[in-house]
Amino acid sequence: MSTFSSQVIINDDVKGVKTYVMPTGAKDVVTIYGSMLSGSMHCANTNSKTAALVASMLDKGTKNKDKYEISETLESVGAELSFSSTRYHTNFTGFCLKNNLGTVISLLSEQLMAPSFSSRELSTLQSRVCGNLERDKENTKKLAMIHFLRTLFPKNHPNYQETVNESIDLVNKITKEDLFAFHREQYGLGSLKIAVAGDLNPEDFNKQMLDSIKGWNIKDSSIPKLIEKAHETKEGSETIQVQDKTSSDLYIGQSIGIDREHKDYYALMLGIYILGGNFSARLMQTVRDKQGLTYGIGSSISGVSFGADGYWSIWGTFSPDIIKKGIAATKEQIDLWFNKGVTQEELSAKKTTISGSYKVSMDSTGGLAAKILSNAEQGRELTYLDEYPKIIESISLSEVNSAIKKYVNPNKLYMVSAGTL
Amino acid sequence: MSPKNNKITGYDFVKKSAGIEEYTLRKNNLRVLVLEDHSAPVATFMVTYHVGSRNEAIGYTGSTHLLEHLMFKGSRNFNKDKNTAIWTELQNVGAQINATTWNDRTNYFEVVPREHLDRAIAIEADRMRHAFLRDEDRQPEMTVVRNEFERGENSPFDVLDKNIWATAYQAHPYHHSTIGWRSDIENVSTERLKAFYDTYYWPNNATVTVIGDFKKEEALASINKQFSEHSKSSEPIPPVYTEEPEQEGPRRIIVKRTGQTGIVGIAHKTPKGLHEDTYALQVLGKILADGKTSRLNKLIIDKGLSTSIFMYDFPFLDNGLFIAYAFLTPGTDHKKIEEIILKEYNNILKNGVREEEIKRAQAQIRATVAFSRDGTYAVASALNEAIAIGDWTFYTKFMDNINKVTAEKIKEVIKKYFIEDQSTTGWFVAKEPKD
């Protein structure tokens, strides 16, 4: 079987943009994933919600087309284009039939390069976004997560989260001028990456895509430097009251002080995966399968990309009546895992899980394009995707157990629960 | 294809549509759908049982779903005692594995690296007739499922949707949601679940779907080898004979809970999924609420009255519901949204829809259908819903039937189904939190 990387055609003929094209056996369909550096961490000159609102306004009209013309163009051929924003990136995704790829490329470029940012559309969008945020006030999982991250990280850290009310205030303060300024300062070639997979000809795609964005301003974009690292997590707990909720959500965890480039990352990631990475991991097998205390519980490492020091956490859902039992059972598993470590058998099983998952994730054009883009955003060569299973395979049991001891402290966990408690 | 290629030992070839072949395993009437797809080194194996929450009644609502959970607790050859538990066996090789239950079906599936397809087949064959279903497993699993129920109850939309179905359908089992009523989840006995299993989990009440990177003959041989140990059910599978009496007036329900914003749902009764009117209703749903150029988007979303709107118009084995749901922005009046939606239905009844609206809806559906072929799981999943409503070629012929929908037909269905006396309207009203 040929390697993954050998099936992807990379093009960087135009300065500031790199395309990754992967023709597959899929019939008629094409999926596009792309991004450029212009997320909320790039909002130094404005409020942090500006990046998200700029991305959401990209389908609300361009200098040459109003939003209905954009939608009509896409919907008349059944295509979809959507824009969103993360901490570091503006992201876009496109789905279309192969015959309509040219239309989608041309529209994508126009929307990215020449948005109109009409005042009326901004006002309607603000009202919708705030409506959704109001709904978050009754979302027990989201509330628990927000409070958990606000405790672990300082305000200027990429993993910090605003409260729902703070977010509403920020969204309402944004003006049309803020949108234009952010777009002018942050959008352009420089960090643009586009991954596309499906039923397409790489040369045709590259010609159309690169022709359509050639000449766009070049920006000297980079990942903003981390100003301040996570607080050292202190033992503590917090309860968020939300009325009339029959289920509650729980977060437990702590900051880890390392990012995913750190030499210990893979060992710690494997250790946390063994604790709660999937259904056959310890937490689901004990707290759910054996004790019946929860519908779902798991653990993961998050917030470790682009140089940020991240955190490990356990999330679980519990009936308010038995959350105390659930917390006790979860803590028992953490202690067991920390004190006795993981076994060779568990490590070997998770290694085969990861290499098999890699194949299964190739099942759709969306899975492929997302995997390629995520790898490119991390600044990695494509060959990393071929090497990943080997990297995982090389991690030893002692490395995993040492990483758990080094980065986890069961006596300094922070815990947030939200619900009718 | 020459008839010779369809001759597979142990099977009768039934038909072929869009590259998918149907066979019947002679030994026990297990239906098998097979499609080779060599795009990626992956295969999806799925078993769809023709049993869902429509086969339940008072006292054991939610049993199909609870049984689905118990099916992961072990079977004769795959269990914790032998160190061959189902989750471990499959997740350790990187498989995606799960099961779902809905009104008309229960499905179990595995997306596996191709070299592990036989393992998925062996597991599904074993638990088809040899699942343990022990009381000591039901007790902890009941609380797991109860927490799943509680999580659903956390969502204002889920609560409103349950209430609309329960109000619209009073006799027919679509009255209750698939998760069931809380007291039934808590109290149904293991014996009842076993009886349910022994009634419905038979090869002649199941369809196996296998899609992906394998040789058809080898996959069919493996299915034959593993599933042929089972006989057909000794009793006929009992049919659901309850029919919903005719509704004789509009119905309304209001759910009040602590929350932040309101929701409006307006439901009208629709025909069985395989009825010819389904296709016009699907196109109508797109015209009304799919995309920014859709009618209700312009009338409601663009005016800042709702954060989102969507049509719930899924085809089921029996009569269903066409529901317009709008999630209100703070301060928007429920009544106002209701009036806008109903006025638009009347507008279509009087003036019809434009040809270009139909063309656009057809293009949207064409792309959706094409993407439902993007990956082995996508195909199996789409087939699963078609199998559930009684004819898997509903999936393969869907686009042809959508292409036949005309403006006249849309006017006809709106006149036929969007009748006030056949409607059920639900509001979720957010109560102020107590201090």
Interval A134-193: pLDDT, tens:
999 999 999 999 999 999 999 999 999 999 999 999 999 999 999 999 999 999 999 999
Contact between A355 and B94 using a beta-carbon 8 Å cutoff: yes
Contact between A138 and B40 using a beta-carbon 8 Å cutoff: no
Contact between B40 and A288 using a beta-carbon 8 Å cutoff: no
Looking at the fold, whether B264 and B216 belong to one and the same domain comes out as no
- Residue B358 maps to a domain: yes
Q: How many domains does chain B have?
A: 2
CATH number 3.40.50.300 given to A236-419: no
Contacting residues for A165 by C-beta, under 8 A, at least 6 apart: none
Contacting residues for B256 by C-beta, under 8 A, at least 6 apart: B429, B431
Chosen domain end from B183, B211, B227: B227
Report chain B residues whose CB lies below 8 A from the CB of A279. 87, 91, 97
- Residue B362 maps to a domain: yes
Contact between A71 and B291 using a beta-carbon 8 Å cutoff: yes
Q: Which of A4, A32, A315, A363 has the highest number of chain B CBs within 10 A, making it the mutation to test binding with B?
A: A363
Residue with tokens 């850290």: A157
The residues of chain A that CATH labels 3.30.830.10 are 5-141+152-213, 236-419
pLDDT for B174 equals 98
Report chain A residues whose CB lies below 8 A from the CB of B146. 319
Q: Nearest 5°: CA angle at B233, between B232 and B235?
A: 140
Smallest CA-to-CA distance from B33 within B243, B183, B181, B208 is with B208
- Residue B236 maps to a domain: no
Looking at the fold, whether B73 and B209 belong to one and the same domain comes out as yes
Looking at the fold, whether B185 and B298 belong to one and the same domain comes out as no
**Which of B113, B116, B374 lies closest to A29 in CB terms?**
B374
Contacts with A, B 217-246, CB within 8 Å: none
Looking at the fold, whether B276 and B398 belong to one and the same domain comes out as yes
Between chain A and chain B, the number of residue pairs with CB atoms below 8 A apart is: 205
CB B131 within 8 A of CB B78: no
Looking at the fold, whether B182 and B33 belong to one and the same domain comes out as yes
State the CATH number of the domain containing residue B86.
Answer: 3.30.830.10
Chain A's closest residue to B70, CA to CA, is A289
Q: Tens digit of pLDDT for each residue in B90-129? A: 999 999 999 999 999 999 999 999 999 999 999 999 999 9
**Which of B260, B307, B373 lies closest to A137 in CB terms?**
B260
**Residue A245 in contact with partner chain B when CB distance is under 8 A:** yes
Smallest CA-to-CA distance from A32 within A182, A185, A208 is with A208
Looking at the fold, whether B50 and B118 belong to one and the same domain comes out as yes
Q: Which two tokens stand for residue A86?
A: 């993360």
pLDDT for B435 equals 72
Report chain A residues whose CB lies below 8 A from the CB of B149. 246
pLDDT for A1 equals 56
Looking at the fold, whether B267 and B193 belong to one and the same domain comes out as no
Smallest CA-to-CA distance from A278 within B124, B78, B96 is with B96
Average pLDDT over residues A377-391: 93
pLDDT for B2 equals 46
CB B217 within 8 A of CB B7: no
Q: Predicted confidence band at A69 (pLDDT cuts at 50, 70, 90)?
A: very high
Element (H, E) at A358: helix A344-360
Q: Which of B37, B39, B402 has the highest number of chain A CBs within 10 A, making it the mutation to test binding with A?
A: B39
Please name every residue paired with B81 in a beta bridge, in sequence order, or none if there are none. none
Looking at the fold, whether B191 and B269 belong to one and the same domain comes out as no
- Residue B232 maps to a domain: no
- Residue B233 maps to a domain: no
Domain range spanning residue B267?
251-431
Please name every residue paired with B348 in a beta bridge, in sequence order, or none if there are none. none
Contact between B307 and A25 using a beta-carbon 8 Å cutoff: no
Report chain A residues whose CB lies below 8 A from the CB of B363. 75-78
Contact between B92 and A318 using a beta-carbon 8 Å cutoff: no
Question: Residue B307's Cα: distance from chain center in Å?
Answer: 26
Contact between B96 and A59 using a beta-carbon 8 Å cutoff: no
Residue A356 has pLDDT above 90, yes or no: no
Average pLDDT over residues A372-394: 94
Q: Which two tokens stand for residue B124?
A: 């599904």
Q: Tens digit of pLDDT for each residue in B164-210? A: 999 999 999 999 999 999 999 999 999 999 999 999 999 999 999 99
Contact between A359 and B40 using a beta-carbon 8 Å cutoff: yes
Which ipTM did the prediction report? Answer: 0.91
Contact between B330 and A355 using a beta-carbon 8 Å cutoff: no
- Residue B242 maps to a domain: no
Q: Which of B71, B92, B139 has the highest number of chain A CBs within 10 A, making it the mutation to test binding with A?
A: B92
- Residue B106 maps to a domain: yes
Ranges of residues in chain B whose predicted pLDDT is under 50: 1-3
Contact between A360 and B113 using a beta-carbon 8 Å cutoff: yes
Percentage of chain A exceeding pLDDT 70 = 100
User: Domain A5-141+152-213: what homologous superfamily?
Assistant: Metalloenzyme, LuxS/M16 peptidase-like (3.30.830.10)
pTM, 2 dp: 0.94
